[in-house]
Amino acid sequence: MPLEGIHCTLLHAVGLHRDDVDLDALLKDVEDRARTVDPFTLTFDRPAIGAIAVEISGWPGNPFTAVVEMLIQAMARTGAAFAPAPSRYPHLSLAYTSDGAQDVDAVTLRAALAAIEEPLSATVAVDRLHLVEQWHDGAHIRWEPIAEVRLAQAVVPA
């Protein structure tokens, strides 16, 4: 995953295209509710090698889960038929098991991570949400930005 592609997914609105949703109404709803959510910090720890991805889990989960629930409810209020696929926990995906991954030795990667004898954690300030249209091309996850919504009291750059 290229650095600019690292992200923390909150919700996949499975089965929807941007034209299936009243985006103006959805954005107004999310913006109104986001004004009540204070920015927060997520701490991400040592990467883990999983069956689907290399990812870094984060904490605390409560503010993350509250934002996910807010987004599910906002999507439901649009009346669009969708299957919510919320992230179950905060995480950053660094790589996915796509074409070519069958040659990766997970045990060797895990050993290399274990050999790093220092903390690998870092914090990320969460002060905005990004609405994107996302798709998979077989090798990469791609997306097109639609909107950015700031949380309450988030500083707007000059």
Instruction: Domain count for the chain, please give it.
Output: 1
In a domain? residue 155: no
pLDDT 10s digits, 14-48:
888 889 999 999 999 999 999 999 999 999 998 88
Which residues is 122 bridged to in the sheet?
Answer: 44
Is the model more confident about 116 or about 101? 116
Helix, strand counts (H, E) of the chain: 3, 9
In a domain? residue 80: yes
Query: 68 with 13: CB under 8 angstroms?
Result: no
Q: What is residue 155's predicted lDDT score, i.e. its pLDDT?
A: 55
In a domain? residue 31: yes
Side-chain-facing half-sphere of 101: CA atoms under 13 Å: 16
In a domain? residue 157: no
Mean pLDDT confidence for 104-112: 85
Is the model more confident about 106 or about 39? 39
Which residues is 132 bridged to in the sheet?
Answer: 145
Residue 156 pLDDT exceeds 80? no
Residue 66: give the domain boundaries. 3-150
Kindly report the CATH number assigned to the domain that includes residue 71: 3.90.1140.10
Percentage of the chain modeled with pLDDT above 70: 92
* 3-state SS class at 142: strand
Q: What is residue 5's predicted lDDT score, i.e. its pLDDT?
A: 75
Residue 148 pLDDT exceeds 90? yes
In a domain? residue 40: yes
In a domain? residue 145: yes
In a domain? residue 158: no
Q: How far is CA 52 from CA 79, 95, 99, in A?
A: 32, 9, 12
In a domain? residue 116: yes
